A and B are shown apart, each in its own frame.
Chain A
């Protein structure tokens, strides 16, 4: 009897130990997923951070979907179908979001080209020695002559 109990404990703990890392993997995966989903009630919090009752319900849904073998993409699609793209912290690149994705780079490129144009105009095509920052050598020599040598 004692031997049987001992065996049983051994087997059960082996099962528990084997399941622990799986559970850990799932928890990490859920955590990562919930960090990318927005809580609809407190809108600047992720689903992982929010204590709102709806966030709890949605975490429960996400967990159940994950347990039933759904992929991350499936789970996101499930939420998007109900709450729209707004639930995603990383909006998808599509016709109504391209400005959002391209805009900052376009502004940066625009600013850079204006800056480049201004710099080029200042550097080149400006021969007037009175405004150019480094005077030509002959002008400097002439100026020296005028200052130090009496005519």
Chain B
């Protein structure tokens, strides 16, 4: 009876330790998106290279595609850029670039300098479409299925690990269905 009672504080401590341990592995900057499993917001924006042309969400229906939010002022976009270039070369999935709150000239210059991995880039000058997509930092990447439903969101740069383990398997799965 006495030893049992001594174990109670220990048990409470272990439970507390468990909570703290889990807390350490969570990234508070990663806000889970409520948009996953929901239809992608509709948009219609001018393209970066031909401002007279527009691309709308309806144009992308019927195929699996990715939306990559980037900007010429975004530093960590540079770290994911080689991966996006590789992805573009492999021709597995079309990637649409959303040039977020950027000056179009600077966006074009950035792509000319670093290479253009995008099927097409669209310009979100005032960040409204970004808000509709729940963007709160650049870069962010979305995977959208054939029905136009958002299936995955990568917050921060795409990593080789995320691409190999999550994004590409998901894309292949969605393309089959």
- On A, residues with C-beta under 8 Å from B are 40-41, 43, 53-54, 57-58, 61, 80-86
The answer, yes or no, to whether B34 is at the interface (CB within 8 Å) is: yes
Q: How far is the CB of B139 from chain A (nearest CB, A)?
A: 14
Query: Across the two chains, which residue of chain B brings its CB closest to A60?
Result: B126
Q: Closest residue to A55 on the B side, CB-wise?
A: B136
**B71–chain A nearest beta-carbon distance, Å:** 11
Instruction: Show 16 residue pairs from A and B whose CB-CB distance is below 8 angstroms, ordered by the A residue.
Output: A40-B136, A40-B137, A41-B137, A43-B28, A54-B127, A58-B131, A81-B34, A81-B35, A82-B132, A82-B134, A83-B33, A84-B33, A84-B34, A85-B34, A86-B31, A86-B32
Q: Which of B34, B128, B134, B136 has the most chain A CB atoms inside 10 A of its CB? A: B136
Instruction: Tell me the smallest distance from the CB of A117 to a CB of chain B, in Å.
Output: 12
For A84, give the chain B residue with the smallest CB separation.
Answer: B34
**What 11 additional pairs, Cβ within 8 angstroms, besides A57-B126, A80-B34?**
A40-B136, A43-B28, A53-B101, A53-B127, A54-B127, A57-B127, A81-B34, A82-B132, A82-B134, A83-B136, A84-B134
The answer to whether B32 touches A82 (Cβ under 8 A) is no
- B29→A43 contact, CB < 8 A: yes
Q: Is the CB of B126 within 8 A of A82?
A: no
For the A-B complex, the count of residue pairs with Cβ-Cβ distances under 8 Å equals: 40
Which of A40, A41, A54, A83 has a CB less than 8 Å from the CB of B34?
A: A83
Assembled-state Cα–Cα distance A86/B33 (Å)? 10
The interface residues of chain A lying within 8 Å CB-to-CB of B33 are 83-84
Given contacts A54-B127, A57-B126, A58-B131, contact A82 B35 (CB under 8 A): yes
Q: For A80, what are the chain B residues with a Cβ–Cβ distance below 8 Å?
A: 34
* Pairs A-B, 7 closest by C-beta atoms: A40-B136, A82-B134, A84-B34, A86-B31, A57-B127, A83-B134, A54-B136
Choose one: B35, B131, B134; the contact of A57 (CB below 8 Å): B131
- B140 CB → nearest A CB, Å: 11
Cα(A57)–Cα(B101), bound, Å: 11
